[in-house]
Chains A and B, each alone.
Chain A
């Protein structure tokens, strides 16, 4: 079956760095997406990886290892506004997104 695993909740300190891991199993693979969702709001697109390696976008970076079925989202210089849920989603061979349950990130001062 198809499956996405990510931690349910993580806590980090303002100004620090946090890494949110995601492992996936899909029928075929057409890329890995990360979305941010603040409470009560719709998700917003953060990043897309289809090749192995690290993609950096400001304070946020995303990494993919296709052979390991593994990705992570790295958030640097954490700010209070980064408190949100982070959703990992893998695109299968039919270009359908398989969604993880999301990781709730709590930032403490």
Chain B
């Protein structure tokens, strides 16, 4: 159980393109989903927390107009990188959690490797 599907796995596109990444919880309802970015040989960096039906909470330094998050249902959250540039190239990973409290772990998708040319 607790499977999270993330799509696409790889994206290579030109500078200025907008890219949408989907994160789905396949066998559970996720009230909260998280978006992370990870640069090579570095730790996970939380970008934003999204709760179903409400606006996402962005971490300090993350541009909300650049990284648009939509969590329209209990099983789907999307991250859109708008007008992507080479410095946005990174490994983007989503995770989902069943409840807002207690001992529920975050379950991760397989990640999306984004390369902007």
Cβ A48 vs Cβ B103 within 8 A:
yes
Cβ A45 vs Cβ B101 within 8 A:
no
Collect the chain B residues with CB atoms within 8 Å of residue A97's CB: 46, 106
Contact residues, A85-108 vs B (CB, 8 A):
87, 95-97, 99-102
Considering only CB atoms and an 8 Å cut-off, how many residues of chain B contact the other chain? Answer: 20
Cβ A45 vs Cβ B43 within 8 A:
no
Q: Does B100 contact A (CB under 8 A)?
A: yes
Collect the chain A residues with CB atoms within 8 Å of residue B105's CB: 33, 45, 48
Contact residues, A21-80 vs B (CB, 8 A):
30-31, 33, 35, 40-45, 48, 50
Known A31-B103, A48-B103, A95-B101; contact A42-B108, beta-carbon cutoff 8 A: yes
Considering only CB atoms and an 8 Å cut-off, how many residues of chain A contact the other chain? Answer: 20
Q: Which residue of A lies closest to B108 (CB)?
A: A42
Q: CB within 8 A of A30: which of B91, B101, B107, B109?
A: B101
Q: CB within 8 A of B108: which of A44, A95, A102?
A: A44
A95 to B101, CA, bound (A): 6
Residues on A lying within 8 angstroms of B by beta carbon are 30-31, 33, 35, 40-45, 48, 50, 87, 95-97, 99-102
| A-B pairs, 6 with minimum CB distance | A42-B108, A101-B43, A42-B111, A45-B105, A42-B93, A43-B108
Q: Can you identify 23 A-B contacts, CB atoms within 8 angstroms?
A: A30-B102, A30-B103, A31-B103, A40-B91, A41-B111, A42-B6, A42-B108, A42-B109, A42-B111, A43-B93, A44-B108, A45-B105, A48-B103, A87-B43, A87-B44, A95-B100, A95-B101, A96-B49, A97-B46, A99-B43, A99-B44, A100-B43, A101-B43
